[in-house]
Structures are given as structure tokens and as C-alpha cells.
Structure 1
Amino acid sequence: MPLHIPTPLIESRPLSLSAGRPVWLKLEALQPCGSFKLRGVGHACETHHARGALHFVSSSGGNAGLAVAYAGRKLGVPVTVVVPETTTERAKELLRLEDASVVVRGSSWQEANEHAQTLLGAGDAFIHPFDDPLLWTGHASMIDEVAQAGCKPDAVVLSVGGGGLLRGVVEGLQRNGWQDVPVMAVETAGAASLHAAMAAGRTVELPGITSVATSLGAKRVAEQALACTRQHPVVSHLVSDREALDACERLLRDHRLLVEPACGAALALLEHPEAVAAFGNVLVIVCGGATATLEQIRAWREAC
């Protein structure tokens, strides 16, 4: 059995009414560690474990690190997660609950990632948070589940950080013969590395991340994420932090499910009816997120 679970696919009546079309939610927030990351990370960890890995090392102050820690505990493999100084105490607490060793290094994910590479020794496997074909293959399984439910969407809406979810969903769409289903790729304005890359025609490094949606905070999107925008219909959209936070509160009110602002970004696109006006059934990947509390979300909202 894989480490991830099949997640519910539900029609959201409140969102369908406001968007003027059926809106379906793939509830990846219900994965055991709180986000879709477990699909790809679990697949990668199981693969490396089968190859004899004795220790997993990751660099993530959020959901990818939590997924590695969960997978390692389930597989009986020790885990070290290197997190940047900006990582919340809540996130570090969750990592330790999964028995991971937590190392704090650097002011950004990039610096934490560089340090993580220096820790690798014989028998260790590095689990990248977003840029690895093993992850994409694992993430694609959520589209397999949608296909098995017999619900072909007319468009898929998802959030983009480093691009692992985007790359995995496109892989899933294509392997199910849904090459004609476009992806609405949503970022917050302060963490828009894919948007910048699509505009420039190449990956570019953002000067910094200014969004509260820190789980989207990759300053440079993965090369393969940009490449898949040339192989599949992908439309880039930007929303504000305030819109993402409002969408988090709305999902909590409508469906009793708390997610991070990074997930709220995708949900916020539905507040722009023109963005989905050309489509019938719209599928939103509710990617989740375990590190933000309701108090944090409301504090960020007050500050916007």
C-alpha cells in the first residue's frame, strides 16, 4: 500500500453557486500529514528505501519536510530536515512530532537547501521538496483518482510554488488522455516565480519572497515546471495575499477545512468569474498545508 491515501472528490455547492458552474474539490488537505506532498514524497521515499537508503535528508520549512518526516517514520528510516530561520515554531513542532531531526540554517530555503547537501553521506537519500521526477509521478496519482471517479474536468485550478504539483498534475492529465484539459496555475503576487518565468521565456530568480504564502516561496520555479507549460495548456494567474487569506476563511466556513494561504491562492481564483467563464466543470486541487493556524491567518489578514 502507498503511504498516501485516496482523497475525497466533492462538489462544492457554495463555490459552484458563486462561480456559476460546477466546482469540484480534490481534498488533498486530508492526507495524513496535511498536504498533497505525501503523494510524491511518499513515492520517492519508498523508492529510495527499496534501493537501500538508510537515512532521508530534506530541505523544507513546511509541507514537504513534514511529508518526508511522516514517510520516514512509517518506513522506519531516520529523517533530517533542514529548515530556514523563517520557519515557524509550529512547523518545527510538527516535524519533531514525526521524530525528525530538525536543523535550522540560513535565511531562505535556498540556503537551507545548500546546507542539506553538505549533510549527505553514504546510505543517505536526498528528498527534494519539488524538483524530482519521482515526486511528479507520485503527485500524478491524484488525477488517476479523478479519472477513476469518472469526472473529467474542463479545467484544473492549482497553486504553484516550486512547480512540483503543476508538473505532477500535467503528468496525470496526459497519462489519462486529458491533454485537452487546461491548467489554471495560480500564485500570489509576492511569490510568482512561474509567472515571471513564463513572461521571460526562461526561469528567473525573484529578488525575494514578499507573500505570506510562504509555501509558495521558491524564488526560482523548477525548469521542468516551465517546460510543461510548453507541452500542455497552462494559464498563469495572480491573486493577492488578501484574496488567498479570504479564500482560506471561506473554505473553513463552507467545508470546515483549514488550509494555508498557499492553498487559498487556488481557491481565490474562483472569486474571479472571468478566469473560469469558458469552462464547465472546474476541478480545484485543495493542496492543503499543515503549518498555518487560524490565528496566524487572521493576523496576516489584519496586516494586509
Structure 2
Amino acid sequence: MCDLPLLPPPPPPVCWAPTSHLLGTHIPSPGHAKAAGIWLPRPHVTVPAQDTRHPARAVAGRFRHGSSPAAGKTGRALSKQPGVRAMFNPCPSPCCAAGHGDLGTRGLGDTGTAPPTSPLPPPSPKSCCGSGRGAGDTQRGPTGHQPCPSGGAPVPRRGWTPGLRWGGDGDPEGSSRCLPAPLRGTASVAGTMAAQPDGGEKPFHIISPTLESLPLSRAAGTKVYMKLENIQPTGSFKIRGIGRLCQEAAKKGCRRFVCSSGGNAGLAAAYAAKKLGLPVTVVVPSTTGPTTVRKLEELGAEVEVSGQVWDEANKRALELAQTEGWVSIHPFDHPSVWQGHASLVRELKDSLETKPDAILLAVGGGGLLAGVVAGLRQVGWQDVPIVAAETRGAHSFHAALAAGRLVSLPDITSVAKCLGAKTVAARALECAQECRVISQVVEDAEAVRAVERFLDDERMLVQPACGAALALLYAGRLRRLQREGRLRTPLASVVVVVCGGGSIQAAQLRALKDQLGLE
């Protein structure tokens, strides 16, 4: 009988992982999860997916571990739901920002049981930690997770079986990095509140998911990532910049906000005003739908209808802003608004391994464009081209580029009312000189068809304004730009900003199709 060489002992466990039966996951809300998540068979909880290359994603039995760790009370609330037995424990490790996400009460292969209400024992000081991927995290590694300086591994505890280990490169064999964990209060993952880069007041927007879309990738012939701004608290990216501007005005003693809007900016201003405990007047044009008006009033806003288009409503808002103590919250033309929107690009920098070959977005007044350009400069991506989409009849940016100066459209005739600024912001025209901006005008029918296809493909209903950007992919505009040599071939990846869906319902989509004669 020969002596067999002794095998080295298995490496110590790093993190706990739940089975398919026991699950704990942070999500922003059921509606957000439905919009951006993955439906699990058990226990019927939707896990919002961050990035398909997220290091903390695994398949364990029938449980797809789509770990989008997030901080806050929503995770604790989920752990109390029937069938969900998971506890979320703070990590005492000095290198850990908050704790460990997605911890279950049983590990993989665990034969013992624990009472449903029993929390996991807290990790030891040498337990794995996760520094999260977000604004304010200054010590990220290449994948957005910093190495754990605490050293060692968690001490196995009696009655608990460790789960999977995760390394720095995302596969279960490595051990140089730890499973990402939620940040206290300012976690920087999908569905969590963002942190101010300067450590100031916590903003009102969340860090939205960046997801790869297989249907959009097939349509475009290249990998497409969606930046899901439609799941922001107010349904659009507007809360980023509008929220920042409102916070700054409140610090300076503002007594009332006044905002002109076709919908999304007003919702953002009303939301911010409610958070700040200040009154707000939102002036809307007569084309604003009753659903949007109702949402504004539910947020506590005083709604005034003035004019046929946004430009006319804005004149009335500026008149009201002359009242002492009232501050005008411009929907797109203000430096603070642009800086707020720039956070979107910083999040892309954190979530993508490499910079995209193009960013696709819709242009109305130009605020999102200005914010994205500011963000590209901040992260060193100035060479990334921007494809800016507008619908015909609301194409003030395209007209300005063609003329080389600001141009006012005679009227807004497009169904995409959220793009309805007759004159684009001067800053938008400057952006076209600072970065490579490719302007594209799509037809209303293309935008509405894109909205419908996106609903079928991704189960999310967005506005025609957002459909303008999606139409670049569905209608073959991206491929055409490649054939014309205006975009590189091949494209490794592109990002489309799914800018908003807070002001549309299924009935409105049906009405738009009827109006445009679409089957």
C-alpha cells in the first residue's frame, strides 16, 4: 500500500452565500425590481441586476445569485417577508464600508438548520469586506472593488456552512478580493442612494443599474448597455440635476421653488421640494397630460397651466420667480443641473470595465447632453462620441447645429412633448464644439415603435422622448452611422441612456399609435 501525498487543505471561506430556498436581497422597490430585475422561481423575489459581469454573480443550484448589494431599510424589510429568511449584518472590519450583502441563514450544503428569525453571527474583524462601487469610493481596484486590507478570512462558525468565495477577477477561485457589500446610507449600487462626491448633503437620486440588453444588442449588432434612468424616484434622470439645484437653493434661504416643465422636470422639482419641506409651483403647458398633473399634485405641488408649449410656460414661471423668496428651478439650463446629471457618467465609469465606443441619448433642451459632456470630461472619456437623438418637430438642437447658432422652431409638432423646447440651451451648442456629438433626427413613428418594442423586449414602458434614443438602435441608425464612417467599425459596446418613463401609461401608448396610424 503506497502512501498518497497529502493534499493541501482547502482555502478558508471568504463569504456566505444563500441557497435558492433562502434569499436576501436589497432592492429599491417592487416596481423598480420589476423594471430592472430577474424573476426568481423561489421565493418569488426579484433581484435587480447590476452588470452581467458583476463579480458577485453566480449560479448556485437553482438560485441565480444576482448580487446587487445595497444599503438601507429595504433589505431588512425584505428579510421579513414570507419565505425570505435572510439577515444583513454590519461588518466590524475597519476596511469595510458597511457590511455583507445577500447573507442567508443557511449556506450551500448546510445540513443544519437555524430558526427563521435567527440572524447570522456578526463577521469577525478579519471577515471579508466590500467597499462597493460608487461615488466617493476613492480606493477602487480595477473592477470597482478595493482589496481587503484586513487580512485573513472569516472564522467559520459552528452550525454554519460557508458558501462561495469570490476573487478579484470575478471567478470563484481567486481570493485577492472580497464580496462587495453595501455602504451605509450611501451605497453605490443599483437602487441605492448616491453619495455626494464632495461629501456634502445626500442627493435625491439613486445609482441606477447599468444592464446589458440582449434584444438591443441583436438589433444594433453590437453589445448595448442600458443606463436605466427610468427607475429613478421620479421616473427620469431629471432628479439628478434638479435635485442638486433645489438643495443648493434651499441652503441659500429659498422659500418657494417655481419650475416650468412638460412633466419630468416638474416631477423632480416637486419631489425635491417635498424632501426639503418647501412649497413648489410647477407651471406646465396645456399639452401636459392629466396623469402628469395628478402626479405633481400628489407630490404637493401647486400646478398652474400656462401656454401651449414649454417656452410659454417658462415665461410665466420666470414672472412668478420675481416674487421675493421664490427661486426659479430651470429644467435644463443651469450649471448645477448639468453637474448633477454628470453623476450618470461617473456611475458608468464605475460599472463598466472599459469605456463604451458611443453614448446614445435624447436631446430636448440640452440639459442631459450638457451633463454627459461634463461627466465625460471628469472621467477622462472626452473621446467617446455622443449620438444625440431628437424627433422631427422638436429638433431644435439639430437645427442649431445646422445653422451654427441658436435657432427657434416655429412650433413643437412632435408627439414627444418632453423634447419640446423650441430653442435649445446655448450650452448644448457649445458641447458640440467640445466633444464629438452626432445629431440624429428620427420620425415620431420610429420613436413610438421603439417604445413598443422596448416594452416587449425589456418589459419597461418609456416615453416617446426616450424612444428617440432607442430608435437609433431599433431603426438601424447606428449601423448606418457605421457604414457612413461616422462611427467606428466594429463597435465593442455602446450605452443608451433610458432617460425616462414617468409620464406615460399603456393607454397613452395606444393613443399615440392610433394618432400616427400604427398597427
- TM-score tier, shorter chain, comes to over 0.9
**Would the aligned equivalents of 2:451 and 2:463 in 1 still touch at CA under 8 Å?**
yes
Q: Give the RMSD, CA atoms, in angstroms.
A: 1.1
Equivalent of residue 420 in structure 2, options 207, 217, 221: 217
SS at match of 1:96: helix
CA deviation after TM superposition for structure 1 residue 155, in Å: 0.3
Mean Cα displacement is larger for which, 81-90 or 215-224?
A: 81-90
Equivalent of residue 228 in structure 1, options 400, 411, 431: 431
Residue in structure 2 matched with residue 160 of structure 1 by the alignment:
363
Distance 1:265 1:150 in 2: 24
The ranges of structure 1 where at least 4 consecutive aligned residues each deviate by more than 6 angstroms after the TM superposition are none
Distance 2:501 2:337 in 1: 17
**Would the aligned equivalents of 1:204 and 1:220 in 2 still touch at CA under 8 Å?**
yes
Percent identity of paired positions between Structure 1 and Structure 2: 53
Stretches of structure 1 lacking an aligned partner (at least 5 in a row): none
Mean Cα displacement is larger for which, 12-21 or 291-300?
A: 291-300
Letter in 1 for 2:381: W
Give matches, 1:8-19, under 5 Å: 8-19=209-220
Distance 2:500 2:515 in 1: 22
Stretches of structure 2 lacking an aligned partner (at least 5 in a row): 1-201
Residue in structure 2 matched with residue 119 of structure 1 by the alignment:
320
Give matches, 1:180-191, under 5 Å: 180-191=383-394
Q: Deviations over 1:106-152 (max 9, x none)?
A: 12212211111221222221100110011000000000000011341
2:203 equivalent to 1:2: yes
- Output the TM-score relative to the length of structure 2: 0.58
SS at match of 1:131: coil
**Would the aligned equivalents of 2:309 and 2:412 in 1 still touch at CA under 8 Å?**
no
2:378 equivalent to 1:175: yes
Mean Cα displacement is larger for which, 274-283 or 130-139?
A: 274-283
Letter in 2 for 1:210: T
Letter in 2 for 1:238: V
**Structure with the greater relative contact order (CA < 8 A, sep ≥ 6): 1 or 2?**
1
Equivalent of residue 396 in structure 2, options 157, 168, 193: 193
Residue in structure 2 matched with residue 128 of structure 1 by the alignment:
330
**Would the aligned equivalents of 1:154 and 1:282 in 2 still touch at CA under 8 Å?**
yes
CA deviation after TM superposition for structure 1 residue 102, in Å: 0.4
Residue in structure 1 matched with residue 504 of structure 2 by the alignment:
292
Give matches, 1:1-304, under 5 Å: 1-120=202-321, 121-151=323-353, 152-270=355-473, 271-272=475-476, 273-275=479-481, 278=488, 279-304=491-516
SS at match of 2:472: helix
**Would the aligned equivalents of 1:269 and 1:275 in 2 still touch at CA under 8 Å?**
no
**Would the aligned equivalents of 1:104 and 1:112 in 2 still touch at CA under 8 Å?**
yes
CA deviation after TM superposition for structure 1 residue 302, in Å: 2.2
Residue in structure 1 matched with residue 114 of structure 2 by the alignment:
none
Distance 1:194 1:105 in 2: 24
Letter in 1 for 2:345: I
CA deviation after TM superposition for structure 1 residue 289, in Å: 3.0
Letter in 2 for 1:235: I
Letter in 2 for 1:181: V
CA deviation after TM superposition for structure 1 residue 61, in Å: 2.5
Letter in 2 for 1:298: R
Distance 1:282 1:83 in 2: 34
Distance 1:11 1:237 in 2: 23
Distance 1:75 1:257 in 2: 30
SS at match of 1:219: coil
SS at match of 1:191: coil
Distance 2:294 2:310 in 1: 18
Q: Deviations over 1:241-286 (max 9, x none)?
A: 1111111111111111111000000000012122356232110000
CA deviation after TM superposition for structure 1 residue 17, in Å: 1.5
Distance 2:440 2:213 in 1: 22
Q: Which has the higher helix share?
A: 1
Letter in 2 for 1:45: C
Mean Cα displacement is larger for which, 269-278 or 50-59?
A: 269-278
Distance 1:243 1:107 in 2: 25
CA deviation after TM superposition for structure 1 residue 233, in Å: 0.3
**Would the aligned equivalents of 2:257 and 2:280 in 1 still touch at CA under 8 Å?**
yes
Letter in 2 for 1:162: G
Larger-Rg structure = 2
CA deviation after TM superposition for structure 1 residue 50, in Å: 1.2
